[in-house]
Amino acid sequence: MKENTSIDSYSAKILSSLQDDGRLTVQEIGDRIGLSSTPTWKRIKELERQGVIQRYAAILNRSKVGLGNCVLAEINLSRHIKNVVNDFEKAIQDCPAIIECYSVTGQADYLIKVVTPDVASYDEFLYAVVFKLPGVSSIRSSVVLREVKSATQLPLDHL
């Protein structure tokens, strides 16, 4: 499933600049990449229109906002029929503590990333939310002891 948009070197430089600092002005980006404001602005608008740039956001320090506990959990579903999968995925979308969810290969059906204030809060979250998610047959949790790398920038060297 390759979904690739044609991105030239200027657009790749725009994307790298925005990944480094999403608050840069069009003028600042243009200065960095060697284009004037108007073509830079047009390229940014086209990247937004194509969905290459999905949204702009601030990246928060989760510990400083009271979410020091991070858990990676593997979830298996009891049945893999369309309505069970759809209900499960909808419930995941509606749960703010689950900040990432991936359908994966291997021993688990899904891998989720959950943030909570502490381990006790995660325990409460398991009983109040995860164990009640549609179709869940098992969950295996791994508490993150230390983040070694947490990047938001996508590598663009291949463009």
Are 32 and 96 part of one and the same domain? no
Quick check: is 154 in a domain? no
The domain in which residue 138 lies consists of 62-143
Report pLDDT for 1: 43
pLDDT bin (cut points 50, 70, 90) of residue 139 is very high
Quick check: is 4 in a domain? no
Report pLDDT for 6: 81
> How many other CB atoms sit within 10 Å of the CB of residue 124?
12
Are 86 and 118 part of one and the same domain? yes
Q: What average pLDDT does the structure give for the chain?
A: 95
For residue 13, pLDDT beyond 60: yes
Quick check: is 2 in a domain? no
For residue 35, pLDDT beyond 50: yes
Q: What is the CATH number of the domain that holds 128?
A: 3.30.70.920
pLDDT bin (cut points 50, 70, 90) of residue 3 is low
Quick check: is 130 in a domain? yes
Are 13 and 45 part of one and the same domain? yes
Overall domain count for the chain = 2
- pLDDT, tens only, 67-120: 999 999 999 999 888 999 999 999 999 999 999 999 999 999 999 999 999 999
Q: Which region among 2-11, 45-54, 131-140, 147-156 has the lowest average model confidence (pLDDT)?
A: 2-11
CA–CA gap between residue 153 and residue 45 (Å, rounded): 20
Are 67 and 135 part of one and the same domain? yes
**Beta partners for 71?**
114, 143
Q: What is the CATH number of the domain that holds 41?
A: 1.10.10.10
Are 36 and 69 part of one and the same domain? no
What is the share, in percent, of the chain residues with pLDDT greater than 90?
Answer: 91
Quick check: is 44 in a domain? yes
**Closest alpha carbon to 39 in 3, 68, 10, 65:** 10
Report pLDDT for 4: 65
Sign of CA dihedral 107, 104, 110, 77: negative
